[in-house]
Structures are given as structure tokens and as C-alpha cells.
Amino acid sequence: MNRRYILGGALSLLLGFTACDSEDELIQERIENNPSPDTELSGTSGSVDFSKYVAVGNSLTAGLMDAALFNTGQQSSFPNILAQQLQINGVGGGIFNQPDINSVTGFNISLNAIPPQAGAPVFGRFLLDVSIPGPVPTQGEPIGPYTGDISQLNNFGIPGMRVIDAVTPGYSQFNPFFARIAVSSANSLIQQAAAAQGSFFTLWLGGNDVIGWANAGGSGPDGEVDPAAQATDPTTLTNINSFTEAYSGAIGAMLSVPDAQGVAINIPPITLLPYYRAVPYNPIALDQANADTLNAGYAEYNSGLDAAVTIGAITADEATQRKVSFSAAANNSIVLVDEDLTVTDISVAVGAPTGTVILPNLRMSNASDLLLFPIATRLGQDLGNGPYGLEDPATDEFVLTFNEQVTVNTRLATFNAIIAQIVADTDGRIALLDINPIFADIAGLTPEQAAQLGMSAEAQAVADGVIGLVIDGVNYLPDFSPNGIMSTDGVHPNPKGHAIVANEVVRVINESFGAEIPPISLTPYGTVVVAP
């Protein structure tokens, strides 16, 4: 059997390079159409003292992009972009210090083990290889110590940190990004951030409390069932009470600074990210010979499903849903394990003792499934049990089924409601930035789809069903193409995306605190970096 299968256009729905101008051309066009003003920008601060801005959060706050924390990514973090805008005349912003990583390529959190394994190669940030198209890693560098003055830091963005981690004393023992800036191995991140005495702060936490579980294909524990698991397993879906207590504690700590004010950002709809959308549910191209061979291999399984129907073990509809069938086409679905299918015992049908002949819980992927980004490098590869996703069924950690999507989106909506309530109880000292309208607009959701995801009324109102976010006449896309706002890891924004987030913070500051801060120009900030 020919075991070389083609991943048929796995990223073609995401990356339409031929339709896009290069980033350099786009930047030049914007410069020509929007010349720099002759006078220096100025603004007003409203009711906020911006003299000491402190940013608290996870990888989104740190500036991690392309799966690594590296120099230019840090420089393009939304807090750093925002801090520069707060320093214009009349606004009163002060110096903003970040814990510089001092690495051109960084440490790839998707490919490297944490802690690093002795003797293993160290991978750095992803670049975009347009011939695939897809991300390829660079040579990386280990996570080094921070050599600056920790007491002067303003950015407390820690990659991988959940809300429940931010308030946990001693968390630096488990996270090398926190360990490099921790003043003590016993303190919590939020203690250290509060001690920085920020007169203004941003807090963007909560995403990792759901995305760890989603990125594991829903294969991790649920904190509602096993709360203890979240202490040791980062793929645990955080317990609701634990989240509430931790988020309230984080907000309380930041507001312990007299007269401090801030902006809290809620959790974006993570299942709309390219990490879950880049690989279509039907990515396999087959010729007739390979299709026939695969069908022959699943003939016994399909017959077993028919037998299960005759003895009443499953319905005819479920049997149809579970049957495996390939064709000579460019868009075959894959075979996957679905734990939600009925456990099917056909022992009686084949004359065997009860419990000895159990059908595997297999079916083919459908349009309701999300194949996670890492599966792209495995599909069709023989990893020891035949081509993955074909003879060797894809396992739970690489697929987010519809039921798992409901679970993660329900928990996310619950967490966002908790964030909104806690912020509302701060007597106006904190303003809420609902980041969901941006995602609803750029992803091309309809109002009905936004409602199904549990998004806010504001997000539903801007959901126009058209993919792309138009800003200053430019249509930005929800991907890592040259016009996209996402980096090549499929989860984190690129510099352009960070600038858009910073502008959203500026908008909320102006609306909530009476400031008059000019919008940030997106022109200087790039998108994707293409591998040479």
C-alpha cells in the first residue's frame, strides 16, 4: 500500500497569499496615503494618573508571538505600544520597563520542553514558509536570566500563566518566565505586580484557564469534576469558584494602590483562532487505489456497526454517523476517536461471550469538528500504526469535537461574566475592555453565531457575516497571512494585532475616564515574517 498521502490544501482556507500585497507594499501605501502630521501629538489624561503604568497578564501581555518570546515581539507588545502613546504631550505617561529577553529568536514554547531537556536542540520563533504554507522554527536560545533591575519593571506578563497561577505563592518554581524576574521564590506574581505601585494598570488574564484544556483537544481534566488537578495539570479546565476567587484577588491587589485605576480585558473567543481553524476537517487528498485500500481495511468495522444495529446496541443513525468511507478526492475527512460515541458491544451478534467484542469509538471528522494546528504535521505520516488520521485514528488531543467546543465556550462565557461583574463592582476605578466584538467582526460571524458562542450584545451587534476588520480603509484578516493580525503560532497576535489591541485600550480609556488620547497609527507595525 502506498502510504504517502497528501494533506490537501490544509492551510489554503487560511492563507490566500496570491490575493495579498506584501507587507512592505502595504506599509508604503499607508505612508503615502496617511502622511505623518507636521505637529507633535498631544492629548489629555482625563481622571487618570498615567505616571506609573503597570501591565499584568500572560503571554498576550508579555508580547509572545510566533510561539516564542523574543526581542522584537516584546518591543511590539500591546503594553509597550500603549505606554509609548501615554508618553505623548499632555497625557503624562512615564517610563515603561520590560524584562528584556535579550534573544533574537527566543525559546519556542510549542516545540521545546519546559524545563528544557539536556542535550536537546533548542528551537526558536516560527517564521512563515510560503512554500508549505506554514510555520517553520528557527534556531532558538535557552530562557536566560533577566539582567536588569527587577524593582523597576512595569510589564508583568508571564507566558503560560493562568489566573489561578497569578495569585499562587511560589509559582516561579513552575514557570521559568516568572522565575527570571521573581524577587522571591515564595511570592506570587500579583504580589510583585501590586508592589510596583502602578497608578494605572491593564490586566489581561483568564485565557489560559480555558485554552490549556482546548489546546489539549479537551483531553485534560475538568476542574469542576477534579479541582485538585488544576494544581499540577495545566490542561485542566479551571474550576469556576477557583477562577472567581483568583480574579477577585488579582483585582483587589492592584486596587490596593491608593487611587490606582485600570483597564481589564476579558477572554477572547479562543475557538475562532487560527490554531483551531487553519486545518479544515477534510484535509486528505487520495487517489482511487489508496481510497480502495483504506475502505477494505475498515470493511469489518463497518460490518460491526451494522451488526450493532440488528441487536439494538446503537441506532441506524449512529451507525451511519460512525461508518468510515474514503473516495478518490481532494477533500477526504479523517478518522478520529470520539469518546462521546456509544460504547458498542457486539459480542452477542458474533456469538462471543458478552464484553469480549467491543467496537472502537471511531468516526470520520465532520464540519462541526475542529482539527488543532499541530495535527497538520502528523496527518498521513506513519507513526508506527499506519498513516495517522487514516489507518491510525486521530486521538482526542488533536481534535476539538462539537461537545468539547460547547464545554470550553460555556466555561469561557461564564468566566467573562465573572470578570464583568468583578469589574462592575470597582466603583468605576476599572473599565472593562470587551475584546469579543473585534473577534466577532474579523471572523465574519453572524449575530446568531456570536450569540451561540456566548458573546456580548456588543459583539453580536458588530457581527456582520463578512470576514475581515476594516481600519483606515485596510481589511485585516483573522490569520497569519500578510494582511492578517495573528502570528504564526495561530494563537497570539502579531505586531499589527498588538497595535489594534492597544488602540482598543486607548478607546476604552477615553470613553471611561474622560481622557483625550489620540489613536495609535498602525503603519509602523508589521504582520508576518517570511522565512528566507
What is the tens place of the pLDDT at every residue in 197-252? 999 999 999 999 999 999 999 999 999 999 999 999 999 999 999 999 999 999 99
Distance from C-alpha of 86 to C-alpha of 93, rounded to nearest angstrom: 5
Lowest mean pLDDT among 6-20, 123-137, 328-342: 6-20
What is the tens place of the pLDDT at every residue in 307-335? 999 999 999 999 999 999 999 999 999 99
Torsion over CA of 392, 399, 60 and 181, rounded to 10 degrees?
A: -50
Q: Coil, helix or strand for 209?
A: helix
Q: Read off φ and ψ for residue 174, nearest 5 degrees.
A: -110, -10
pLDDT value of position 404: 97
**Does residue 28 surpass a pLDDT of 50?**
no
Distance from C-alpha of 189 to C-alpha of 253, rounded to nearest angstrom: 11
Write down the residue that cell numbers 488520521 correspond to: 389
Whether residue 27 contacts residue 496, with contact meaning beta carbons closer than 8 Å, is answered with: no
**Does residue 402 surpass a pLDDT of 50?**
yes
Distance from C-alpha of 453 to C-alpha of 445, rounded to nearest angstrom: 10
Which of the two residues, 33 and 412, has the higher pLDDT score? 412
What the block records as the C-alpha cell of 191 is: 504580589
Each residue of 493-522: b (16+ CB within 10 Å) or e?
bbbbbbbbbbbbbbebbbebbebebeebbb
Which of the two residues, 198 and 114, has the higher pLDDT score? 198
pLDDT value of position 24: 47
Residues 6 or more apart whose Cβ sits within 8 Å of residue 399: 217, 336, 365, 369, 370, 371, 372, 375
Distance from C-alpha of 483 to C-alpha of 465, rounded to nearest angstrom: 19
Whether residue 302 contacts residue 324, with contact meaning beta carbons closer than 8 Å, is answered with: yes
Please, is 131 exposed, middle or buried when counting C-beta atoms within 10 Å of its C-beta (0-12, 13-18, 19+)? exposed
Q: CA–CA distance from 469 to each of 13, 381, 440, 465, 483 (Å)? A: 17, 37, 9, 11, 10
Q: What global pTM score does this model have? A: 0.92
What is the tens place of the pLDDT at every residue in 414-472? 999 999 999 999 999 999 999 999 999 999 999 999 999 999 999 999 999 999 999 99
Average pLDDT, integer, range 155-182: 97
Q: Coil, helix or strand for 486?
A: strand
What are the strands, taking DSSP E only, across 286-361? 335-337, 344-345, 358-359
What the block records as the C-alpha cell of 30 is: 499607508
Mean pLDDT of the residues in the chain: 92
Average pLDDT, integer, range 113-133: 87
Reported residue count of the chain is: 532
Neighbours of 470 (CB within 10 A): 11
Distance from C-alpha of 216 to C-alpha of 293, rounded to nearest angstrom: 31
**Does residue 528 surpass a pLDDT of 70?**
yes
- The helices-and-strands tally (H runs, E runs) of the chain is 18, 17
Confidence of residue 180 (pLDDT cuts 50, 70, 90): very high
**Does residue 23 surpass a pLDDT of 80?**
no
Helix (H) or strand (E) holding 6: strand 6-7
pLDDT value of position 501: 98
Q: Read off φ and ψ for residue 135, nearest 5 degrees.
A: -80, 145
Q: Coil, helix or strand for 137?
A: strand
Nearest CA to 57 among 41, 34, 77? Answer: 77
Distance from C-alpha of 204 to C-alpha of 433, rounded to nearest angstrom: 10
Confidence of residue 482 (pLDDT cuts 50, 70, 90): confident
pLDDT value of position 12: 35
What is the tens place of the pLDDT at every residue in 353-372? 999 999 999 999 999 999 99
Amino acid at residue number 182:
A
Helix (H) or strand (E) holding 433: strand 430-433
What is the tens place of the pLDDT at every residue in 268-309? 999 999 999 999 999 999 999 999 999 999 999 999 999 999
Listed as own residue / partner, the contacts of 467-472 with beta carbons closer than 8 Å and 24 or more positions apart are 467/442, 467/443, 468/442, 468/444, 469/438, 469/441, 469/442, 469/500, 471/500, 471/522, 472/30, 472/34, 472/522
Which of the two residues, 502 and 27, has the higher pLDDT score? 502
Domains of the chain: 24-268+403-513 (3.40.50.1110), 284-400 (no CATH)
Neighbours of 479 (CB within 10 A): 25
pLDDT value of position 117: 80
* HSE, side-chain direction, 13 A CA sphere, residue 470: 6
What the block records as the C-alpha cell of 504 is: 482598543
Could you tell me if residue 467 is left (phi over 0), alpha (psi between -120 and 50 degrees) or otherwise beta?
A: beta
What residues form DSSP beta bridges with 388? 379, 392
**Does residue 10 surpass a pLDDT of 60?**
no
pLDDT value of position 27: 43
pLDDT value of position 30: 40
